[in-house]
Amino acid sequence: MNDTDRIFRLFAEADPAPESVVSTIERPAADVFLLDLERTPMLTREPKIQPAEPFASRTSRLRGPAVAVASFAAAAIVGAAVVGIAAWLSSGDGETAATQPTLPPVTTQATTTTVAPTPVPALVTVPDFAGMTLAEARALAATLGLELEALPPAVGEAVVVAQDPAPGARVDEGTMLAVDARVAPTCTPTVPAAPGPNQAEIFLLFECDGDGLYPATGIPLHRLVPKGGGEAIDRVEWTLRSLLSGLSPEEKAAGFTSFFGFTTTGDTLNSVTLTDGHVVADFDETIYVNNASTSTGGLFFNAELRANLFQHPEVDSVEFRVNGDCEAWSAFFQSDGCWIITRADWEQQLAEWDELRSQ
């Protein structure tokens, strides 16, 4: 078997014709096959579309050899490409990884940063400042590394009555502590001045250093008022007007307290009458003092008025009104009706408060 016969057999085995196709020609000679390949024109422009032949008319003569030639051509191209790449890599123009210049190794130097530890403040036990003067409390706090602030602000002679944080608490050094310091009440009345030719002396009763729970009779403070006719009604009227004017700065510094003198004046009293021992005192709207309408505030507010009126022996009962309306007075204290308080009622009330205070 010659070379041409071998090639033809390889073509037939690689791409056999379908069984349904009947061969119409004998196996061509090799020279005829090669001559047909040489006569095949190259496509240099758009080919004319030829009508497709029926499938049954295709012969194995044209099918198998064409595919084989294309396969061999593709294999030859791939092989040439591989050989070319290998030749380029092995030539001097293309350097391999082995001949690539190597970079010097990069070295890093470790650095160490020293962070100073944050100082932790020492814990300090809060002492008990109660009973110390503000100056003494501040000196003690300074020795412990603490700071002290008086709320409200007070002078060095003021006495500490409360503090925050409480004694025994553990706080950081440098903590600001708050204390409530107040001047200790002396409750010492001012020395009365001698009355002039047209003056009379009267007394007002004010609370001082009380327990804040129950009213007391009060401590008398003197006032000089116009002498007038010397009648009882004059003394009653000036007592009320002086009471509504409030305390002097010296009396407040000594520890005396009063509901009056902040929004009220002597002119808050519209009128006052004394008839058969019964006093009717009529006020304007400025008598409505802040905090006087609360249960505790109302207790001390009414007690201050009644104590100053019942100090006069001519007074047997009292009645308060606002612009002539007695029910407007009781309504201010969330009550109703007209309140008339007798001396017996007042004395019984004082006795009950003294008993409760002693318990």
Q: What is the pLDDT of residue 64?
A: 47
Q: Report, as ranges of residue numbers, the positions in the chain whose pLDDT lies below 50.
A: 23-26, 43-47, 55-73, 78, 82-83, 85-86, 88-90, 92-98
How many of the other CB atoms lie within 10 Å of CB of 46? Answer: 6
Predicted confidence at residue 228, as pLDDT, reads 78
pTM for the whole thing? 0.56
- Paired sense of beta strands 340-342 and 317-322, if any: antiparallel
Distance of CA 67 to the CA centre of its chain: 86
First to last CA, the chain: 144
Q: What integer pLDDT is reported at residue 48 of this predicted model?
A: 53
Instruction: In whole angstroms, give the CA distance from residue 292 to residue 303.
Output: 11
Write the pLDDT tens digit of every residue in 122-162.
899 999 999 899 999 999 999 999 999 988 777 767 889 89
Per-residue model confidence (pLDDT) at position 5: 63
The pLDDT score that the predictor gives to residue 303 is 96
pLDDT at 210: 77
The SS3 of residue 82 is: helix
pLDDT of residue 82: 46
For tokens 């190259």, name the residue: 42
Question: Domains (ranges, CATH) in the chain?
Answer: 1-34+60-77 (no CATH), 123-182 (3.30.10.20), 199-358 (no CATH)
Give me the residues paired with residue 162 across strands: 180
Please check whether residue 200 is in contact with residue 164, taking contact to mean a CB–CB distance below 8 angstroms.
Answer: no
H or E segment to which residue 87 belongs: helix 60-90
Predicted local distance difference test score (pLDDT) of residue 193: 85
In this structure, the strands spanning 278-283 and 317-322 are: parallel
pLDDT recorded at residue 359: 85
Regarding beta strands 199-208 and 317-322, do their DSSP bridges make them parallel or antiparallel, or are they unpaired?
Answer: unpaired
DSSP 119-166: PPPPEEEPP--TTSBHHHHHHHHHHTT-EEEESS---TTPEEEEEESP
